[in-house]
Structure 1
Amino acid sequence: MKVVTGGKYENLDEAHSAFLFPEYGKNREELLEFVRALKGDETIVTASLELIDLLAGKFRKGEENVLIYSDTGKALTLKEVYELRKYLDFDVRGGFSGEESRVSVLFVEGKTDAKFFKAVFKKLFELKESREVPQNLMFIERVFERDNFDLLKRASDETYVAVIPSEGNSGVIRNLGNFIRAMEVFNFSVNRIGAAVDIDEDRESALQAIEGKLAQVGAEKGRAGYKVGMTEVVPLVIGLPFEDELIEWKKPTVEDLMLHLIEREGLLGRIKPALSVLNESLGRKLTPKEVMYLALSAYGHWGNLEGFYELFVMRSRFRNLKAILREAGLMDGLERLAFWERKAGTSRAGRR
């Protein structure tokens, strides 16, 4: 199966014998009927995202099933198209052009991680939420009702940072690889891409997972880090063990960073009596996430856990947040994503 899209399909040899699909006026049942009748050896020219989704869903197996972007003549497998659509709301029809802005993208594991790092960027690096989307992020659809990613901007130097939740460590790695492939095919770029994963078993294994994906897309490793073309890739490995007689710590997650933060801010001490009562009642230690829900209630926040993370980070002391991120080995990578340029030996996060 070959799916051709983009504005210059007439110049492609594949398009001469292709089926030009008249998508306008077709309802979903008619699209399904059309796709069900396909054998898999056809070439279809279309600008319908709905049809592309159906084709990618049916023909995502096999390296021979591809989407060709006619504006560049380059191709993605339909498996990559399927994942770009499902996990990133990526508009694979292309067609976005214009001046690119200074942009960093950070892929994180889930929505709690996304709200934590969003708040860190706002708190430490003078970034604010933005509804203005730069050209190099136009490919990812903004669906504000679904809150599918957070976009921040610093007005002083016109820098954007997008924080995009994935589905676990494997989701971060998958999105990293697919996004880099999409940049190549659709001829756009961002300045830096961050990949934030939990340590899980050990730091070296977490880094190897990122490096393995980068090797597949032709990244080069230098003294300053990893590069794909002009885009720098910044790995962020999350893990800062937390020891407490009432809390069962098993493996590193973003909850560790929050545990350290609520301890330094004094909230953990306030809920210790409640932790002791629950510990005795349940006959076991509490998980970090259970502690977070107790902290949320004690703080008087009646929203969800993601909202609590963002609110608490924003209201925390500047020095406490910076100290925890430094201890976790994250500060340098976050600064790298947040700032267009850095002067040697200086911290752009300030000295508050």
Structure 2
Amino acid sequence: MKLVTGKHWEAFADENSLLFPEYRKNRDELIGFVGSLKGDETIVTASLELIDLITNRFRKGEENVLIYSDTGKILTLKEVYELRKYLDFDVRGGFSGERAKVSILFVEGKTDAKFFKAVFKKLFEFRESRNAPHQFRFIERVFERDNFDLLKRESDGVYLAVIPSEGNSGVVRNLGNFLRAMKVFDFSVDRVGVAIDIDESRESALASIAGKLSGFEQGTTAMGYLVGNTEVIPLVIGLPFEDELIEWKKPTVEDLMLHLIEREGLLNKVRPGIKALNGSLGRKLKPKEVMYLALSAYGHWGNLEGFYELFVMRSRFRNIKAVLREAGLMEGLRYLAFMP
């Protein structure tokens, strides 16, 4: 199966190609059309709906590809499927607009995203941005704004996107697919941060990033790796929190929050509640359960994502910096925020 999209599709079409078969067809007709395909056709289309239907069916097999006609470069349909499912990436290409200095930070989930969003706003003077530069057009067209955070620092025009993934494996997967997409669709960002939890060990976390990058021509830098003109910065989250009332198993962003609420004095306020629940449940509380107690004590009646962002924004500069330095994250975050 070959999918062809982009402005210069004529160069890849022949008498056996099916041109724009989505024209004047409803979804049921498109589903029926895709069901009739044998897998050896060439489909020329500018329909994301049709692309999604075809990639869902033909994502297995290296011979099933999407050709972006503007560059003549190829993605496997598995890569297209993952770009659409996990990043809502607009695989029709045609990105335009102002080019700018741009960083991206891939994080594990939405609570992580709100934590780091608040850090960039609090420490590095970023603000939410309604306008996207050329490098983020793939996001702006398709993403709903509550699925990611796009920030800009007005003083030097640097943009930063904080994009949640689905766990550590999702962060690494999105990194690889995003680097492939940059090559195929001929755009680039300056720096990509990869924030993952330590899980088994720091070495294994770094090895998972290095393993994904092994499929690209790369070099090393003082802060990470260089793939083309894009620098990849590993950010490994690992700051154990020891407390006789709290059950700690492995580092996550909740541990960063535990350290911060302790430094801000909120943990002592909820300690009687932690003790009471320990006795009632017959076990220690998990970090996320402590977060819900802290949320309630803080008087925030929203969700954890909103609490993380609000609490970081209202915390003291010195406490945020101290936690990030202790976690070994401060230098990497600063590097993502500032560039020549």
User: TM-score, with normalisation over the residues of structure 2?
Assistant: 0.98
Q: Which residue of 1 aligns with 2:236?
A: 237
Q: Which residue of 2 aligns with 1:28?
A: 27
Q: Secondary structure at the match of 1:41?
A: coil
Structure 1 CA distance for aligned equivalents of residues 141 and 282 of structure 2: 46
Taking only the aligned residue pairs, the percentage that are identical comes to 76
Q: Which amino acid aligns with 1:197?
A: I
Runs of 4+ in 1 over 6 A off after TM superposition: none
Matches for 1:118-137 after TM superposition, within 5 Å? 118-137=117-136
Q: Which amino acid aligns with 1:21?
A: F
Q: Does 1:100 align with 2:94?
A: no
Q: Which residue of 2 aligns with 1:344?
A: none
Q: Which residue of 2 aligns with 1:59?
A: 58
Structure 1 CA distance for aligned equivalents of residues 177 and 288 of structure 2: 31
| Post-superposition offset of 1:25 | 1.7
Q: Secondary structure at the match of 1:133?
A: coil
Q: Which residue of 1 aligns with 2:147?
A: 148
Residues matched between the structures, number: 340
Matches for 1:317-328 after TM superposition, within 5 Å? 317-328=316-327
Q: Does 1:73 align with 2:72?
A: yes
Structure 2 CA distance for aligned equivalents of residues 302 and 184 of structure 1: 44
The 3 A distance-change label for structure 1 pair 234 and 224 is closer
Q: Which amino acid aligns with 1:5?
A: T
Unaligned runs of 5+ in 1: 342-352
**RMSD after superposition:** 1.2
Does the Cα contact within 8 Å between 2:124 and 2:337 map onto a contact in 1? yes
| Post-superposition offset of 1:15 | 4.4
Q: Which amino acid aligns with 1:268?
A: L
Q: Which amino acid aligns with 1:3?
A: L
Q: Secondary structure at the match of 2:111?
A: helix
Q: Which amino acid aligns with 2:152?
A: K
Does the Cα contact within 8 Å between 1:10 and 1:16 map onto a contact in 2? no
| Post-superposition offset of 1:142 | 5.5
The 3 A distance-change label for structure 1 pair 98 and 142 is closer
Moved more, 110-119 or 134-143: 134-143
| Post-superposition offset of 1:144 | 6.8
What do residues 314-352 of structure 1 show as CA deviations (whole Å, max 9, x unaligned)?
0000000001000000011101111113xxxxxxxxxxx
The 3 A distance-change label for structure 1 pair 144 and 40 is closer
Unaligned runs of 5+ in 2: none
Structure 1 CA distance for aligned equivalents of residues 34 and 297 of structure 2: 54
Matches for 1:164-243 after TM superposition, within 5 Å? 164-243=163-242
What do residues 14-65 of structure 1 show as CA deviations (whole Å, max 9, x unaligned)?
5453111232221100000100000000001000000000000000000000
| Post-superposition offset of 1:282 | 1.1
Structure 1 CA distance for aligned equivalents of residues 339 and 37 of structure 2: 48
Q: Which residue of 1 aligns with 2:11?
A: 11
Does the Cα contact within 8 Å between 2:16 and 2:41 map onto a contact in 1? no
What do residues 192-229 of structure 1 show as CA deviations (whole Å, max 9, x unaligned)?
00110000011000000001001112222234420111
Structure 1 CA distance for aligned equivalents of residues 160 and 134 of structure 2: 13
Q: Which residue of 1 aligns with 2:47?
A: 48
The 3 A distance-change label for structure 1 pair 106 and 158 is same
Does the Cα contact within 8 Å between 1:4 and 1:15 map onto a contact in 2? no
Q: Which residue of 2 aligns with 1:338?
A: 337
